[in-house]
Chain A
Amino acid sequence: MDEPHPPGDRSGPDRPPAFLGPPAPAAPAPPRRERSLGRWLGSPLALAPLLLLGIVVAVLAIASEGQNFGLSFWGPVWAFNPTDPAGSTYGIALFALGTAITAGAALLLASGLSLAISIALTVYLPPRTSRVLTTLTDLLAGIPSVVYGIWGFVVLAPYFASSLEPTLRNALGWLPGFGGPESAIGGGSGLLLGIFILTLMVIPLTTAVMRESLRSVPRELVEAGLALGATPWEVVRRVRLRVARRGLWGAVFLGFGRAVGESVALAMVLGNTVQFPPSLYGGSSTIASFIFTQLDSAFFYPELLRALVEFALVILILTIAFNLLGQRAVSEVRPRAVAGAGGRA
């Protein structure tokens, strides 16, 4: 789902102007969106990603055999009966809730942290430190999910069970989600650990996108703010965040798309229970992690397999929707932000 530009086309109107030298005499700009979209759709290359997407959807749809589970598919009841797979109820709602809680909370935390990190990287830290930290956060993005999962399961879960969760329950028990029955704490696997791991996993992505959005804020606007008597922090709040706003939202959407699809790591730390979570310490399953944990048994029950394939379709659509939203926001931030900015004043 990349910006619609045929490869090799560096003359597109969306291309940010070079920051060197005076701008070339402006050619009368043709209506931007129409032209690039028209050209893009006209080229055979444009069809490749669409085709691929079409194939994936088609295969999934065929695999699910269009089995209609009816309204109960969207319901909260998951009652799989091996002796009567056709008469079982395959409801997605509980898992959707698990996805919403883990991805939602993880994105809330990751967005805040990423924003702080990227402000520090682009504004406050000296260039060398900033480069080192940038490389480090980018490296984190390359760690495979199983590694996060096993680390969460082996190292963090016991700690969560023995100290963090009891402490939180005592201190914040009055907050919804932080109280609940003591039995929910169990072995440490559960929503809280899932959220923690998922937060770590999306931070590299959200940080990278936020950092680049903040970096694309033209220096001239920053200096204009300073020249009006703003402190560096006031310039962050009133100029940088404002100008980069769309890209920052893009980071949140892209992160959400990423979090919704995460399966392996969550399957390892969520406890994989099918229940309405009694508290943040309780076990849960997300749509993606549930597909992953059920694959074995699904092999023997075609109806179960079809239900899981339809789960996958739901994730696919969610992911595409969030990625599209994110891409749009991120791609629009640049041309807008650099409009009216150029060489060093």
Chain B
Amino acid sequence: MTEPERGGPRGSDPILSVRHLTVRAPNRTILDDVSLDFEDREVAAIIGPSGCGKTTLVRALNRMAEVAPGIRIEGSVRYRGEEIYDPAVNPVLVRQRIGMVFQRPVPFPMSIYENVAFGLRLQGIDEEELDRTVRRSLEQAGLWKELDGDVERSGLTLSGGQQQRLCIARALAVKPRILLMDEPAASLDPTATQRIEELIFDLRKEYAVILVTHNMQQAARVAERTAFFYQGRLIEYSDTHQLFENPREKLTESYVTGRFG
């Protein structure tokens, strides 16, 4: 895959374009013919009731879905015009461009430094560059100051919110263009959640962020666009304000007004 220019003018081409994406497990269809576009330097929220396929969608966007046994994927996902499901494309490269943060903070049982350096070491980055990138990533994730320079302690000694920001720093260190976040604040308290939201707000300046969330206020606070999923289908995808205040679909309306789900 070609490395895109950073900091160029904001184009109108979507950074990620999903067409007729269908994901099946052995006995059921998890995602059914989903098509939507994601823009660079924007936050898009994915909402919908539990089990509607949100996690499956984001996992299908960086070829993590296929890691689970028995999952079959059809359709097309283009990253800057390039098909990520092309058999010639190495999933490892896709995952470097499209990073991921999981629902539960899962630091490796290693030092904070090694956690952040993990992806870089795979690419054989030299030590000096490594130090710089680790520091920059921790700063971006708002952890550097809190750590007071102590990056040698185990990542497991951090609080839950700090661990999640460590996981974000770890993902940022690889220099992705897109960050997939699957309910990154679901296991955190309100203060830690707020910090993550502020972080997401900042990240938009450099990245495309695709944020799965259960929390509609969160979507309203941080996302430009919101997609509502129901039973594996994309029901509505539009400007966040419009989706919440003036939904086109009845289903969306009843969901955002809390009448089900």
Co-assembled chains A and B: yes
Chain B residues positioned under 8 Å from A242 (CB to CB): 108-110
Nearest chain A CB to B46 CB, angstrom units: 15
Find out whether the CB atom of B95 lies under 8 angstroms from the CB atom of A226.
yes
Q: By the criterion CB–CB under 8 Å, are B109 and A238 in contact?
A: no
Q: Scoring B residues 137 to 155 as 1 if CB is less than 8 Å from chain A, else 0, what string do you get?
A: 0000000000000000000
Does A341 sit at the interface, judged by CB under 8 A? yes
Given A220-B102, A223-B67, A229-B107 contact (CB < 8 Å):
no
Q: Using a Cβ–Cβ cut-off of 8 Å, how many residues does chain B contribute to the interface with A?
A: 32
The answer to whether B110 and A228 touch across the interface, beta carbons within 8 angstroms, is: no
* Secondary structure call for the A interface: helix
Residues on the A chain within 8 Å of B93, using CB: 229
Q: Which of A302-342 contact B (CB under 8 A)?
A: 336-337, 339-342
B122→A234 contact, CB < 8 A:
yes
Chain B residue at minimal CB-CB distance from A222 = B67
B110-A224 in contact (CB<8A) = no
The reply to whether the CB of B162 lies closer than 8 angstroms to some CB of chain A is no
**Given A229-B92, A231-B92, A345-B55, A224–B167 Cβ distance below 8 Å?**
yes
| Contact A228 B118, beta carbon cutoff 8 Å | yes
Cα distance A225–B55 in the bound complex, in angstroms: 18
Closest chain B residue to A340 by CB distance? B106
Assess whether B161 is interfacial by the CB under 8 Å rule. Answer: no
Question: At the interface, yes or no: A269 with Cβ under 8 Å from chain B?
Answer: no
A230 in contact with B108 given A127-B69, A223-B64, A345-B182 (CB within 8 Å): no
Within the assembled complex, what's the spacing in Å between the Cα atoms of A345 and B122?
24
Which residue of A is nearest B99, CB measured? Answer: A227
Q: Chain B: which residue is nearest A234 at the CB level?
A: B122
Q: Which residues 162-176 of B have a CB within 8 angstroms of A?
A: 163, 167, 170-171, 174
Chain A residue nearest to B173 in the complex (CB) = A228
CB distance from B52 to the nearest CB of A (A): 15
Interface residues on A, range: 20 to 34
Beta-carbon contact of A228 and B95 below 8 Å: yes
Determine the distance from Cα of A336 to Cα of B167 in the docked complex, in whole angstroms.
19
With A220-B102, A242-B109, A340-B104 as given contacts, are A225 and B118 in contact (CB-CB < 8 Å)?
yes
Collect the chain A residues with CB atoms within 8 Å of residue B106's CB: 218, 220-221, 224, 340-341
Q: Which residues of B contact A218 (CB under 8 A)?
A: 106
Instruction: Answer whether residue A239 sits at the interface, using C-beta atoms and an 8 A cutoff.
Output: yes
Partner of A228, one of B69, B107, B109, B174: B174
Report B-chain residues with C-beta under 8 Å of the C-beta of A115. none
Q: Which of B186-228 contact A (CB under 8 A)?
A: none
A226 to B99, CA, bound (A): 10
Q: In whole angstroms, how far apart are the Cα atoms of A200 and B20 in the complex?
A: 54
What's the Cα separation between A312 and B47 when bound, in Å? 68
Task: Looking at the assembled complex, report how far the CB atom of B157 sits from the nearest CB atom of chain A, in whole angstroms.
Answer: 11
| Alpha-carbon separation in the docked complex, A229 to B122 (Å) | 8
Interchain nearest-CB distance for A23 vs B (Å): 9
Give the docked Cα–Cα distance between A127 and B109 (Å).
27
- Determine whether the beta carbon of A341 is less than 8 Å from that of B104: yes
Specify which of A224, A229, A234, A342 is in contact with B108 (CB 8 Å cutoff). A224
Q: Name the interface residues of B67-102: CB closer than 8 Å to any CB of A.
A: 67, 69, 92-93, 95-96, 99-100, 102
Query: At the interface, yes or no: A243 with Cβ under 8 Å from chain B?
Result: yes
Let me know if B156 and A340 touch, CB within 8 A: yes
C-beta contact mask, A106-133 vs B, less than 8 Å → 1, else 0?
Answer: 0000000000000000000001000000
The answer to whether B62 touches A238 (Cβ under 8 A) is no
Measured CA separation A27–B118 after assembly (Å) = 33
Within 8 A of A (CB), among B116-146: 118-119, 121-123
- A345-B184 Cα distance, complex, nearest whole Å: 10
Shortest Cβ distance from residue A2 to the other chain B in the assembled complex, whole angstroms: 26
Identity of the chain A residue whose Cβ is nearest the Cβ of B101 in the assembled complex = A227
Bound CA span A345–B105, Å: 10
Interface status of B35 (Cβ within 8 A of chain A): no
Which residues of A243-284 have CB atoms within 8 Å of chain B's CB atoms? 243
- Is B29 at the interface (CB under 8 A from chain A)? no
Instruction: List, in ascending order, chain B residues with CB within 8 A of A230's CB.
Output: 92, 118-119, 122
Report the Cα distance A339→B62, complex, angstroms.
Answer: 26
Chain A residue at smallest Cβ distance from B64: A227
CB-defined contacts of A345 to chain B, threshold 8 Å: 55, 102-104, 182
Q: Would you call B96 and A229 a contact (CB within 8 A)?
A: yes
Docked CA distance A214–B226 (Å): 40
Cα-based distance from A226 to B90 in the complex (angstroms): 12
B182: chain A residues at CB < 8 Å are: 345
Closest to B93 in A: A229
Shortest Cβ distance from residue B77 to the other chain A in the assembled complex, whole angstroms: 16
Residues of B within 8 A of A342 (CB): 104
Q: How far is the CB of A131 from chain B (nearest CB, A)?
A: 13
Docked Cα-Cα span, A231 to B110, in Å, equals 19
A336–B103 alpha-carbon span in the complex (Å):
20
Bound Cα distance from A12 to B209, whole angstroms? 42
Contact in complex: A229, B119 (CB < 8 Å): yes
Min CB gap B51→A, angstroms: 12
Residues of B within 8 A of A340 (CB): 104-107, 156, 163
What are 11 A-B contacts defined by CB distance under 8 Å? A228-B170, A228-B171, A228-B174, A229-B174, A230-B119, A242-B110, A339-B156, A340-B156, A341-B106, A345-B55, A345-B104
Known: A229-B174, A242-B108, A242-B109. 9 other contacts (CB 8 A): A218-B106, A220-B106, A223-B102, A225-B108, A227-B64, A227-B102, A228-B95, A228-B119, A340-B107
The 10 closest A-B pairs by CB, nearest first: A228-B119, A229-B96, A227-B100, A345-B102, A220-B106, A345-B103, A229-B95, A224-B106, A229-B92, A230-B122
